[in-house]
């Protein structure tokens, strides 16, 4: 009893009815008491037997808690003397800011983050608040062949090869890349071998990797104006200086780019279906762009995000297939053709850069997860993908037709429709002076998620309008949505 004062047990509120085991409650109680300074460094602890008696619990949870606290360095035992709060915890650095006895509140250090001006600040735009009508980048979820897909997921999940469970190739799964290379060669006109394919977590990741390999901070990069915000962010975080280059009905104005930034390190383009206005980069512009890249030593980042869906002709062949100097880095994604939450995209990398890309990818996240690659390899090889594309092309063609017609009949001359020949969105360009942000904000309040065209500009917007996604919007919602947009527009 003489030692009682030194062994006073902190107030440990044990709840015998709680789901949390008693040993855990004891462990946490002691740890909190130490960190709060209620138990001082070097202070003696009662024996496990007497503590168990005092708390009226069995000895086992007390022993378990003590073992854990000893293992984690909160307690120390001295032979023959008992158990103590570790003396090393007297070091103020270890309990910094937690000791009530220290009179002065510790002054917090500065919370500095990278000064990179390109870091995105996070967009809380109202038109990104929901997943309903007109939201761009949505797919027709209810038409996805879920049964086939689920069967392949189950099959591959049940019988993984050892190589699918261990560390793998930073470029991705061999079988998937072989299947993908065959598809890209025949359907997209991409010249590639499986070795050139790097599987990524969507095209956003692909762009980030490409920017890290190809660019130094401060390098100029041509950016389509208006263009894709996702690409802007990916390039900006690599420290690129973005040079807006206007697009017209022939796509990127290459001459304007050469005029503004002849020595740019790279150009970001969406040649098959310019995002968001929808032009197809003409053959002469393609050759002009490749010629500039070859002469100046620039890289071309070709984002081929939705070209499989083309409604009035065959899909446009990739720019990469025309490239004779390995200047094009081709970026593809399954986000539009399957579903975005899959997070599978890919890069086709020039052969001489494969090692650099693989090394960088390994440093970022080792390699892509294997399950969906195996599922996708089967989905492509067994013909499900081609069948799915054919079906979806029909569905999106119908939705597109209904949207275009509704815009014409409801809004007439107030809008000009652009980019409706391909993809899953179009641009409804409004007359000069239109306040597209305000319109989109009011639409969002009604559950219509139209994106204002002006936010796609880096510089002063030269056009206003709405970018309307129809992939995930059924025919009745399209008709109802356009009626409501018409009313909002007339209300001004």
Ligand X SMILES: Cc1ncc(COP(=O)(O)O)c(C=O)c1O
Told to check if 340 binds ligand X by CB under 6 A, we report yes
Strand order in the sheet with 345-348: 197-200, 345-348, 328-333, 299-303, 266-269, 220-225, 241-248, 251-252
| Distance, CA of 465 to CA of 445 (rounded, Å) | 18
The residues in 213-252 that bind ligand X, with binding defined as CB under 6 A, are 228, 230
Q: Which stretch binds ligand X (CB under 6 A): 7-15, 49-57, 197-205, 472-480?
A: 197-205
Closer by beta carbon to ligand X, 298 or else 301: 301
Of the candidates 319, 346, 298, the one whose C-alpha atom is nearest the C-alpha of residue 191 is 319
CB of 338 to ligand X, least distance (A): 11
Closer to ligand X by Cβ: residue 257 or 345: 345
Least distance in angstroms from the C-beta of 432 to ligand X: 26
* Residues near ligand X (CB under 6 A), total: 14
What is the SS3 assignment for 424?
coil
Using the minimum distance from each CB to ligand X, give the nearer residue, 251 or 345.
Answer: 345
Determine, following the binding rule CB under 6 A, whether residue 350 of this chain makes contact with ligand X: no
The smaller minimum CB distance to ligand X, of residues 82 and 230, is found at 230
Q: CA geometry: angle at 407 spanning 492 and 129, to 5°?
A: 65
Check: CB of residue 203 under 8 Å from CB of residue 345. yes
Within 453-482, the residues that bind ligand X by CB under 6 A are none
Joined tokens for residue 485: 């947009």
Residue 174, judged by CB atoms within 10 A of its CB (0-12, 13-18, 19+), counts as middle
> In sequence order, what are the residues at sequence separation of 6 or more whose Cβ sits closer than 8 angstroms to the Cβ of residue 67?
none
- Contacts for 358 with CB less than 8 Å, ≥ 6 apart: 169, 170, 171, 198
| C-beta closer to ligand X: residue 99 or 200 | 200
Q: Does 208 bind ligand X (CB under 6 A)?
A: no
Q: Closest distance between ligand X and the C-beta of residue 64, in Å?
A: 47
Task: Output 57 or 140, the one with its CB closest to ligand X.
Answer: 140
Kindly state the smallest distance separating residue 202's Cβ from ligand X, in Å.
3
Candidates 61-69, 140-148, 318-326, 332-340: pick the segment binding ligand X (CB under 6 A).
332-340
Interface with ligand X (CB under 6 A), residue from 27, 30, 268, 275 = 275
Please report how close the Cβ of residue 190 comes to ligand X at its closest, in angstroms: 16
202 binds ligand X (CB under 6 A): yes
Burial class (CB in 10 A: 0-12, 13-18, 19+), 93: exposed
The piece of 50-58, 196-204, 365-373, 381-389 that touches ligand X (CB under 6 A) is 196-204
The beta-strand segments (E) located in 54-113 are 75-78, 82-85
Q: Are strands 464-469 and 82-85 parallel, antiparallel or unpaired?
A: unpaired
DSSP assignments along 228-273, one per residue: -HHHHHHHHHTT-EEEEEEEETTEE-HHHHHHH-TT-SEEEE--SS
| Between 170 and 202, CB nearer to ligand X | 202
| Nearest to ligand X of 302, 323 (CB atom) | 302
When asked if residue 303 is in the footprint of ligand X (CB under 6 A), the reply is yes
Helix/strand/coil for 434: coil
Helix H or strand E encompassing 130: none
* Smallest gap from residue 128 Cβ to ligand X (A): 11
With CB under 6 A as the contact rule, the residue among 25, 335, 454, 473 that binds ligand X is 335
Q: Is 280 in the site for ligand X (CB under 6 A)?
A: no
Q: Which stretch binds ligand X (CB under 6 A): 8-16, 64-72, 199-207, 315-323?
A: 199-207
Interacting residues with ligand X (CB under 6 A): 137, 202-204, 228, 230, 270, 275, 303, 305, 333, 335, 340, 345
């Amino acid at each position: 009893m003489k030692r009682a004062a030194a062994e006073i047990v902190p107030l440990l509120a044990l709840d015998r009815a709680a789901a949390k085991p008693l040993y855990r409650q004891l462990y946490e109680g002691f740890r909190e008491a130490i960190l709060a300074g209620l138990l001082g460094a070097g202070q003696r602890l009662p024996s496990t037997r007497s503590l168990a008696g005092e708390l009226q619990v069995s000895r086992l949870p007390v022993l378990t808690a003590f073992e854990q606290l000893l293992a984690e360095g909160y307690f120390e035992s001295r032979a023959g003397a008992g158990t103590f709060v570790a003396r090393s915890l007297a070091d103020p650095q270890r309990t910094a800011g937690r000791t009530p006895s220290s009179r002065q509140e510790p002054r917090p250090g500065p919370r500095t983050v990278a000064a990179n001006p390109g870091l995105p600040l996070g967009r809380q735009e109202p038109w990104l608040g929901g997943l309903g009508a007109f939201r761009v980048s949505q797919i027709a979820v209810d038409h996805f062949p879920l049964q086939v897909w689920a069967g392949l997921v189950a099959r591959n999940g049940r019988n993984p090869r050892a190589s699918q469970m261990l560390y793998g190739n930073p470029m991705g799964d061999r079988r998937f890349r072989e299947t993908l290379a065959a598809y890209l060669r025949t359907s997209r006109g991409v010249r590639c071998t499986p070795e050139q394919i790097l599987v990524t977590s969507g095209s956003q990741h692909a762009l980030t990797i490409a920017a890290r390999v190809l660019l130094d901070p401060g390098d100029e990069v041509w950016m389509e104006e208006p263009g894709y915000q996702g690409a802007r962010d990916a390039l900006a975080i690599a420290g690129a200086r973005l040079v807006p280059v206007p697009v017209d009905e022939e796509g990127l104005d290459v001459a304007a780019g050469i005029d503004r930034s002849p020595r740019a390190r790279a150009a970001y383009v969406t040649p098959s279906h310019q995002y968001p206005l929808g032009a197809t980069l003409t053959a002469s512009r393609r050759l002009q762009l490749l010629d500039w890249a070859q002469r100046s030593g620039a890289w071309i980042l070709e984002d081929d995000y939705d070209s499989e869906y083309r409604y009035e002709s065959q899909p446009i062949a990739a720019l990469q297939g025309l490239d004779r100097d390995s200047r094009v880095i081709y970026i593809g994604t399954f986000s539009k053709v399957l579903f975005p939450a899959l997070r599978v995209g890919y890069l086709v990398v020039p052969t001489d850069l494969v090692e650099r890309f693989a090394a960088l990818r390994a440093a970022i996240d080792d390699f892509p997860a294997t399950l969906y690659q195996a599922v996708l390899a089967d989905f492509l090889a067994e013909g499900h993908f081609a069948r799915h594309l054919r079906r979806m092309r029909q569905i999106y063609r119908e939705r597109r037709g209904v949207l275009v017609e509704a815009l014409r009949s409801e809004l007439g001359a107030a809008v000009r429709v652009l980019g409706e020949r391909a993809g899953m969105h179009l641009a409804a360009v409004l007359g000069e002076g239109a306040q597209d942000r305000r319109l989109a904000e009011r639409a969002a309040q009604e559950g219509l998620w139209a994106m204002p065209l002006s936010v796609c500009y880096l510089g002063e917007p030269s056009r206003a309008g709405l970018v309307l996604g129809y992939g995930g919007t059924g025919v009745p919602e399209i008709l109802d949505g356009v009626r409501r947009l018409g009313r909002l527009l007339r209300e001004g």
